[in-house]
Structure 1
Amino acid sequence: MKAAVITSSDQPPRYSDFPDPTPNGPGEILVEVLAVGLHHLTRGRASATHYSSTRGLPLVVGVDGVGRDADGKLRYFAQSPGQIGTMADKTVIKLDHSIELSSESDPVAIAGAMNPAMASWLALRCRVPFERGQKVLVLGATGSSGSMAVQIARHLGASQVIAVGRDEQRLGKLLALGATEIMTLSDAQHGAGAVACEVDCVLDFLWGDSSLRVMETVLKQRADRSRPLTWIHVGSMAGEVAAIPGAFLRSANLHIVGSGHGSVSGRDILTELPALAKEITRGTFRIDVKAVPLRNVEQVWCEASRSGERIVITPQQPAIDATEN
């Protein structure tokens, strides 16, 4: 079969031949792959920089996808570390790591949206006792996951959603997606916008020193420091380490938690995914996707995404120039 194959962690995957995978147990099935999102997690595992990376090479990249099983059913599936990747004509999945999709589902939309949407959906549904009417700050709101977080927070009942990011042009677009207020990262770090200091929950896709400075500002300007503030670490776009002073924890009712594979059980993830997939199929959330044939994976892997598009690899699509509109 054809697949996107990594032979060195510091090189992009190549469109290459790879042995056909075969199921090894009663809980595994072979699926025809229809669409696979090119996510930050995909890049992280391929470069061996993500905490869930495995070191064995060569490997097929791709951490999730949409495929068709032998019965003709559409399935969304996610692969555990060590399983064969998903950017290929075929892959083997575990049934208990997949959900059946409705026949109306668009494989490209599901593949593009599920991973970035899952981050905030699981954080607010599984990691904190989030309630309707609470106020949410999304830190790093201009990326795909951050944009989805703005929409999901509003969908789940947030009364206010403050979107913070570096790209002012992309920030402006978030007002149409549910953000009640927008501000640049610099403004948030220097205390502009008092409403940001009175939120109940922070969805943090940045971490590192950038988040630390925002956290310090929020805590210092908070009117009532005994009022609970839950800070959810969901991404590390600005750094893996945040040196949080102990005084932050002593001087405020601050709860810091993480959300990701491991902190949310596989059972809880599978319980939540059907509802999320249903909302994506309904068109509840907006995400800009660009379908690219598997043959062009090396080219798009090396290109920076333009205008916030989410790249979706389509193994069954005829090969064309990935730059065509």
Structure 2
Amino acid sequence: MKAAVVNNFEQVPQYQSFEKPQPQTKEQLIQVRAASVNHRVQSQADGTHYTSDGKLPFIPGLDGVGQLADGRLAYFVTSNPIYGSLAEQTVVDHRRIIPLPSDIDVNSVAASMNPAMSSWMALKSRLGTDINSKKIMILGATGNSGSLAVEISHYLGAKSVVAIGRNRDKLAKLTAEKTISLLDEPAKLKQEIKEVADVDVVLDYLWGDAAKQVMLALLPARSNHSQSLTWIEIGSMAGADLVLPSAALRSINLNLIGSGQGSIDPKLFLTELPALAQLISQGKFNVDVEAVPLDQVTSKWNLKTDRRLVFNP
């Protein structure tokens, strides 16, 4: 079969022949119809993601839409360390397969599930049913995941949403009650953050210096320091590290937690994702798609586009 193959972490994946996967116990063979590429998949392919075991070669790709042996369409999350989703075929643990309606747009679902999942699972796993009437701040709201987080927060019952990001044009299109640009002058940015400091939850896709800047303006400005603030770290687009003064944890009721691979019980994914997949297949929470044949994966891997890159085998 043909696949995108990582042979060297210093090179982009190569379109080449690869041994066809053989399903093991609890695995099912899937004919891949569409698989997306995002920052997480790119870090998997260059070996920089924290889950990388350094073993080569392998096929990257974390999820996708494919066809089961009985002809049904399904969304799947990969489970095999060698066989990812960027291939004509892959094998997946049957517990990571979610049946889909036959009339869906496979590219839209493949493109949208992963970015939508990041905020959906963060809110569901960390807040459970305690989402209604919460004031939520999205840090990094102009990326695909962040912009969907605005919509999902509203859908799940947030009282209000503050969206913070760099791209002013994208900020203007969001449905947030308040938008703040990280490109504003420092004094203005600090004042704007102070005005919305009494949020209950922060979904942080940036981390690094950007998160530190927001955090140090927000924490001391809270009107009630004992009011709980749940800061959920999801991504690290602005840096992998953050130096935080110890007083930030002692003087504020700050709950700093993460949400990502390894931190959420896999059983909860199986409980929550069918509902999300259904909503996406109905046209909610969709991102713009750039669909490309898989045989162009090497040349298109680093394509600069605001759309979600999806490859079709």
Q: How high is the TM-score relative to the length of structure 1?
A: 0.92
Pairing 1:50–2:49 present: yes
Write out per-residue CA displacement over residues 29-88 of structure 1, whole angstroms, 9 at most, x where no aligned residue.
111100001121111111111111231112111111111011011111111362411111
Query: Is the Cα–Cα contact under 8 Å of residues 66 and 77 in structure 1 kept in the other structure?
Result: yes
Within a 5 Å distance, the mapping from 1:70-109 to structure 2 comes to: 70-80=69-79, 82-109=81-108
Structure 1 residue 21, shift from structure 2 partner:
0.9
Could you tell me which residue of structure 2 aligns to residue 314 of structure 1? 312
Residue 237 of structure 1 aligns to a residue whose secondary structure is: coil
Query: Is the Cα–Cα contact under 8 Å of residues 138 and 164 in structure 2 kept in the other structure?
Result: yes
Name the CA distance, whole Å, in 2 between partners of 1:83 and 1:76.
Answer: 19
Structure 1 residue 131, shift from structure 2 partner:
2.1
Query: Is the Cα–Cα contact under 8 Å of residues 54 and 81 in structure 1 kept in the other structure?
Result: no
Name the CA distance, whole Å, in 2 between partners of 1:278 and 1:49.
Answer: 32
Pairing 1:179–2:176 present: yes
Structure 1 residue 104, shift from structure 2 partner:
2.8
Name the CA distance, whole Å, in 2 between partners of 1:83 and 1:273.
Answer: 24
Could you tell me which residue of structure 2 aligns to residue 262 of structure 1? 262
Residue 151 of structure 1 aligns to a residue whose secondary structure is: helix
Could you tell me which residue of structure 1 aligns to residue 116 of structure 2? 117
Amino acid at match of 1:217: A
Query: Is the Cα–Cα contact under 8 Å of residues 141 and 150 in structure 1 kept in the other structure?
Result: yes
Pairing 1:66–2:98 present: no
Could you tell me which residue of structure 2 aligns to residue 323 of structure 1? none
Within a 5 Å distance, the mapping from 1:1-325 to structure 2 comes to: 1-25=1-25, 27-80=26-79, 82-129=81-128, 130-174=130-174, 178-187=175-184, 189-305=189-305, 308-315=306-313
Higher mean displacement: 13-22 or 296-305: 296-305
Query: Is the Cα–Cα contact under 8 Å of residues 48 and 55 in structure 1 kept in the other structure?
Result: yes
Name the CA distance, whole Å, in 2 between partners of 1:81 and 1:231.
Answer: 32
Identical residues among aligned pairs (%): 44
Q: Which runs of 5+ in 2 are unaligned?
A: none
Query: Is the Cα–Cα contact under 8 Å of residues 180 and 189 in structure 2 kept in the other structure?
Result: no
Aligned length: 309
Q: Which runs of 5+ in 1 are unaligned?
A: 316-325
Structure 1 residue 189, shift from structure 2 partner:
4.9
Residue 180 of structure 2 aligns to a residue whose secondary structure is: strand
Name the CA distance, whole Å, in 2 between partners of 1:233 and 1:189.
Answer: 21
